[in-house]
Chains A and B, each alone.
Chain A
Amino acid sequence: MSTATSTAPLGAEKADENRSLIGLRRPDHTTGLADWLTTVDHKKIAIMYAIFSLAFLVIGGIEALIIRAQLAVAENQLITAEVYNQLFTMHGTTMVFLAVMPLSAAFFNYLVPLQIGARDVAFPRLNSFSLWTFVAGAIILNISWLFQAANLLGWFNPIDGRSDIVPAVGWFGYAPYTDTAYSGIGTDFWILGLQVLGIGSLAAAFNFIVTIFNMRAPGMLMMRLPVFTWMTLITSFLIIFAFPPLTVALGELMFDRYFGTSFFRVEGGGQPILWQHLFWIFGHPEVYILILPAMGIISEILPVFSRKPLFGYSLIIFSGAVIGFLGFAVWSHHMFTTGLGTVGTAAFSLLTMAIAVPTGVKIFNWIGTLWGGKIRFDVPMIYGLGFIWMFMMGGFSGIMHSSAPADSQQHDTYFVVAHFHYVLIGGSILALLAGLYFWFPKVTGRMWQGKLGHWSAIVIVIGLNWTFFPMHYLGMAGMPRRTHTYLEGTGWQALNFAVTIGAFILAVGILMFLIDMLRTYRKGVPAGNDPWNARTLEWSIPSPPPVHNFDRTPVVKARDAFWLHKFGTVDQKIGSVDPGAHGVHMPSKSWMPLLTSSGFLVFGIAMAMKSAGVPLMGYLAITGLSITLIGIYLWALEGPGGYHLHPEGEHRPH
């Protein structure tokens, strides 16, 4: 354990300094709810991100299971078309924005400062703000279920024509179906939820870019950064360039719905196709925002379990950057059936094919990493190998889509559904679960026992293939996606039934994973600092890491710093910087990020209620924005805060 046992702010005599201009004191709770609400510690924030996103993974999964139960047999009457549409909309939105993205953010938060040898992120309060803004957006989206329940009980009645309360427009909400003429206040919840989530993601992305550039430990050159940190950097750049178009598109849609403009409203001359362009200018980079962190995680795990450096480090990073950049030039391949014209279709078709090259490079390099190694099959590695295999298969159907004429048959069928679930579950989720297993001993200090983890990986991979492989055939057999039922004469029953069974197997796998995590957290054996004989800086410190991360700022001499520290030459050993007499400076906690984000929550729900015709809600929305503004001012006036820690003794990497 750390020798720096005290996590309380030392030097209470400095309390006056921690008072703001208007006399507010920075909070210093060390336990309980207030501690979690006010924390600016990147590790605690990461844990909250992980817990929220796993909760939403379960919620989104339950939605998927209901969808699959409905489709198990032809002409099923289990749920109505309306509920089905709400379920697939919320399933997609939840999985993309509330499960995979925040789970990636959890890894960014936990690992980036540790991997670069920093004490925290560059802007700790902004980090807390990102988390709570994400929570606000998640609440705005999902509270629609409660309003729907209230509507069923007769407690809440929107004005005529707006009774569609849970979003039912699909996760990309194509105009003009999102206009007031066709959809109810569910769309308002959807718009506002995504808008708020976007703010949180943007704030986090700025923060990580600055952190990675500016907070690196001495000697941690860019080309010595762990690959996961590199992928975080590229992902953050994708976020800062991809989210503004979504913000604008959602803003324009909001103006259409609230103020009668005609951006996407055909009666006023608007072109609904514009929405598709703006959405996919965001949407395609978003796909890479979901997969690049996963690639980073895999690039960390494979070398550790092969006991070999990553094959082609610079090429993996370069190909990641190329994927990110090309991601902005291929958005229209989601729109091959919208009549882009000959030149447009051909250009986007070829650019899309080009993306296969850097993606292939990554797979080659991963195999190259395994080649000649000593591969140990522990749980993270099983998930990791599953990732390579499944992601590769998703990539193949991706190549099939890139050929526009062939895609015009596959577009919007279950073939596409199969493709993106292979890359999102087989890609992102498998890698994120691999990462959860890999770093779980570091985060909790506990190591699992028994084989449940192994079995969860195997069951998830079986369930995944059982569910999504037959979907390719369903797509070829012409089953369109987003249809809540199908006729008996179509011949899709057998496969659909099989797929439903597969979905439940997948769910069992996820359940086994959750049980194993929980069991390890409660009864795991002590893991030690470096259970995997790993390569990067985060393994050089105790598990769980102390609040200040590194007792002494490390001085890095090479890539794979910790590995070379252990097995390299003497001059490759990690050095350290003496913190000096004033110790390690730590940021103070704050209520203000939470307050600022809560303004968004009030604003979002009030705007949706305004659309539902509830009186006075416009004023409440303004109140919400005022809360945010007040929060920002109090935040700025809070004063610098901070306290110093004096880690006792010589705690060096050993």
Chain B
Amino acid sequence: MSAATEVTESQEHVPTGMHPKKLMMWLFLASDCMFFGTLISTHLIYRKIYPDVGPDPRSIFDIELTTGSSFILLMSSLFMALAVSAIHKGELKSFRRNTVLVMIFGLLFLSGQVYEFYDFAVNKDFKLTTGTFGSSFYLMTGTHGVHVALGILWLGSLFAYSYTKHFKAETHAMDVEVAGLYWHFVDIVWIVIFTAVYLLEYVSF
């Protein structure tokens, strides 16, 4: 049940040997690299040219919390990989268990982000409108959060779909794998953001 895909079937001959949905997803992810690349470069440019404008990131960031969030997202990626593995093996129960874990960890990550935003905005007076730092920080991490939320929605739909009679491990393994690719990509974007936006702020030359 991947949205927006319908392959013209009975194309016996696939010259590249790549499933169209998978190829499509990788193309989308390549394109998304440019998307997040632009968001991240906006942030880094403003941090570069206005290093002293806005609040000091070290005084507002809660790096332990963010590290925890990163850990959570990494773990969700592990379960995602296991869920994909399970569906390929035809183990529906294992697939469901792992998918639920992915969603739980995804939700944990999101609640961490919601807490972080709340903490910044209310306790530390760092808002969306707080100059360029606030603008680029919130738009970038917020967009990432939206990606996570959409991923949870997608996996949740697949999870619910797996209880219907239409769901078969053989025919839907690719749908799960494609959703998994998306989820992992969201994870690697966070790996980049965690280093470029959070950790490197703590390095002082």
Contact = CB atoms under 8 A, between A and B. Distances in A.
A259 interface: yes
A214 B14 contact: yes
A249 B31 contact: no
Contacts of B5: 123, 126
A640 interface: yes
Interface string B129-158: 101101110110001000000000000010
Contact of B20 (A214, A220, A247): A214
Nearest to B25: A206
A587 B7 CA distance: 8
A582 B10 contact: yes
Given A124-B6, A126-B6, A636-B3, A577 B13 contact: yes
Given A240-B31, A241-B30, A269-B132, A213 B42 contact: no
Contacts of A261: 128-129, 134-135, 138-139
Given A244-B32, A577-B13, A268 B136 contact: no
A553 B132 contact: no
A373 interface: no
Given A21-B166, A262-B132, A123 B16 contact: no
Given A214-B23, A640-B6, A274 B28 contact: no
Contact of B139 (A218, A245, A251, A278): A251
Which of B3, B129, B139 has the most chain A CB within a 10 Å cutoff?
B3
Highest count of chain B CB atoms <10 Å: which of A210, A270, A577: A210
B164 interface: yes
A220 B23 CA distance: 19
Contact of A213 (B4, B10, B15, B135): B15
A563 interface: no
A406 to B, nearest CB: 29
Contact of A124 (B8, B27, B37, B50): B8
> Max chain A CB contacts within 10 Å: which of B9, B31, B129, B166?
B31
A263 interface: yes
Chain B CB within 10 Å — which of A202, A207, A256, A269 has the most?
Answer: A269
Looking at chain A's contact residues, the main secondary structure is: helix
A526 to B, nearest CB: 30
A645 to B, nearest CB: 12
A268 B8 contact: no
Contacts of A119: 8, 11
Interface residues of B, number: 49
A437 B40 CA distance: 46
Contacts of A640: 6, 9
Interface string A249-278: 101100110011111000011110010001
Contacts of B60: none
Interface in B20-54: 20, 23-24, 27-28, 30-32, 34-35, 37-39, 42, 45-46, 49-50, 53
Contacts of B135: 252, 255-256, 261-263, 268, 270
Contacts of B3: 632-633, 635-636
A241 B31 contact: yes
Nearest to B164: A21
Given A241-B34, A635-B4, A636-B3, 7 more contacts: A218-B15, A247-B35, A255-B128, A274-B45, A281-B38, A632-B4, A640-B6
26 contacts: A118-B8, A123-B4, A129-B4, A206-B27, A213-B18, A213-B23, A214-B11, A214-B16, A216-B15, A220-B15, A241-B31, A244-B31, A247-B35, A251-B139, A252-B139, A255-B139, A261-B138, A261-B139, A262-B132, A263-B42, A263-B139, A278-B38, A577-B12, A586-B8, A632-B4, A642-B9
